[in-house]
């Protein structure tokens, strides 16, 4: 899709569409007249997201989906085609986050993150690409994260899944190179203000939060809309995202050292917190675009004070 009017009438599937980046992206596409198919685990929150899109004038279909279930993701694609006749853009966005040392983290919890953040995206690709090939066109966008470029302490499951996801995106792009109208895009946002930190698994004993500067979910949504109009292989977001992308390519050792320092300094907060597996195995509130963090990564109301 190219041009300013390319989004109007297009069919866009978004996983993780009930909150955070997914909800912001759904609303951004809705405002431009896209037809939306939203997927997430919690049916009530997903229906609310669909209603928000309809209030903006869009058609929206809510399909409760756990992306770790390949059959469910295939059913999601079938529902989109049955309702709208095609799929123009598929955005793999659903993600889980878990903080804790490798030795403190139960194997089942570590695997659950990878099953969602990597295998969930694999399932999305396997569902969307046959539709794209039959149509001769389509755009697959994978929300990779800046942590797909550089390691971070205490987040090994998330970082490992995102490293692998970036590799998957690169491989798919090469496999599909002979199809010029089928695109695979990787978006690499830095820290984003979403509820993911409040819902994350956290075994550190402290509150957790994003590394500043923090982008808004709406910032990321606008980039995803732009990729749907002008696809490109990789897209960093904001000054922080661009800096991390360039530094990781120029000096992997320096970028790793910097990320290690920033994670300990900013992601792990001073306040104590009870260990939890968060929403890894069951969806949890809140379902909103924002997690309440300002651009400097501090929660409104004084919670989550940095060390």
Residue 94 inside a domain? The answer is yes
Domain range for residue 16? 11-272
The first and second tokens of residue 239, run together, are 């000054």
List of residues 6+ apart from 231 with CB closer than 8 A: 139, 183, 185
Q: What is the CATH number of the domain that holds 32?
A: 3.40.50.720
Check whether 180 has a pLDDT greater than 70.
Answer: yes
Task: Give the max Cα distance, the chain.
Answer: 54
Taking the mean position of all CA atoms in its chain, how far away is CA 127? 18
236: part of which helix (H) or strand (E)? Answer: strand 234-236
Per-residue model confidence (pLDDT) at position 247: 84
How many domains does the chain fold into?
1
Whether 306 has a pLDDT exceeding 50, the answer reads no
In a domain, 259, yes or no: yes
pLDDT in tens, 184-213: 999 999 899 999 999 999 999 999 999 999
Q: What residues contact 48, with CB distance under 8 A and at least 6 apart?
A: 18, 287
Strand segments, DSSP code E, in 16-107 are: 35-40, 60-64, 89-92, 98-99
> Domain for residue 30, yes or no?
yes
Higher pLDDT, residue 195 or 302: 195
Within-domain flag for 108: yes
156-175 and 107-114 are packed helices; what angle lies between their axes, rounded to 10 degrees?
A: 30
- 136-159 burial string, b = 16+ CB within 10 Å, else e? eebbbbbbbbbbbbbbbbbbbbbb
Question: What's the mean per-residue pLDDT of the chain?
Answer: 94
Say what the pTM is. Answer: 0.94
Which whole-number Å values give the CA distances from 135 to 129, 152, 170, in the listed order? 10, 40, 22
pLDDT in tens, 254-276: 988 988 999 988 899 989 999 99
Is 158 annotated in the active site?
yes
In a domain, 5, yes or no: no
Distance CA 25, CA 224 (A): 7
Residue at 298 is within a domain:
no
Torsion angles phi and psi, residue 259, rounded to 5: -65, -35
Is 161 inside a domain boundary? Answer: yes
Is-contact 188 235, C-beta < 8 A? yes
Question: Which pair of structure tokens corresponds to residue 179?
Answer: 């199809």
pLDDT surpasses 80 at 302: no
- Exactly one of 158, 197, 245, 307 is catalytic; which is it? 158
Three-state secondary structure call for residue 231: coil
Cα(76)–Cα(34) distance, rounded to whole angstroms?
17
How many angstroms separate the CA atoms of 196 and 217, rounded?
11
Backbone φ, ψ for residue 37 (5° rounding):
-125, 115
Displacement of CA 164 from its chain's centroid (Å): 14
> Has residue 1 been placed in a domain?
no
The position carrying tokens 């698994």 is 201
């Amino acid at each position: 899709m190219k041009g300013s009017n390319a989004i109007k009438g297009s069919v866009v599937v978004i996983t993780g569409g009930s909150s955070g980046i997914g909800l912001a992206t759904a609303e951004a596409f809705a405002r431009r007249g896209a037809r939306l198919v939203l997927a997430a685990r919690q049916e009530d929150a997903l229906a609310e997201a669909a209603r928000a899109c309809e209030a903006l004038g869009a058609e929206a279909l809510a399909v409760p989906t756990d992306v770790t279930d390949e059959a469910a993701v295939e059913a999601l694609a079938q529902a989109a085609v049955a309702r709208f006749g095609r799929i123009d853009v598929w955005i793999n966005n659903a993600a889980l986050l878990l903080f804790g040392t490798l030795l403190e983290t139960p194997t089942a919890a570590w695997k659950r993150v990878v099953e969602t953040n990597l295998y969930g995206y694999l399932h999305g690709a396997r569902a969307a690409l046959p539709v794209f090939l039959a149509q001769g066109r389509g755009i697959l966008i994978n929300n990779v994260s800046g942590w797909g470029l550089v390691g971070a302490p205490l987040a090994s499951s998330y970082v490992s899944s995102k490293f692998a996801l970036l590799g998957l995106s690169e491989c798919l792009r090469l496999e599909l190179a002979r199809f010029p109208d089928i695109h695979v895009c990787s978006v690499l946002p830095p820290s984003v203000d979403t509820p993911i930190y409040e819902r994350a698994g956290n075994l550190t004993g402290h509150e957790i939060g994003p590394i500043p500067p923090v982008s808004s979910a709406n910032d990321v949504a606008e980039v995803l809309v732009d990729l749907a109009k002008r696809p490109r292989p990789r897209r960093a977001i904001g000054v922080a995202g661009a800096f991390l992308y360039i530094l990781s390519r120029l000096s992997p050792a320096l970028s790793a050292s910097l990320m290690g320092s920033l994670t300990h300094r900013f992601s792990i907060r001073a306040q104590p917190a009870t260990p939890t597996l968060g929403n890894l195995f069951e969806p949890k509130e809140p379902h909103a675009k924002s997690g309440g963090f300002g651009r400097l990564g501090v929660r409104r109301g004084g919670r989550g004070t940095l060390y």
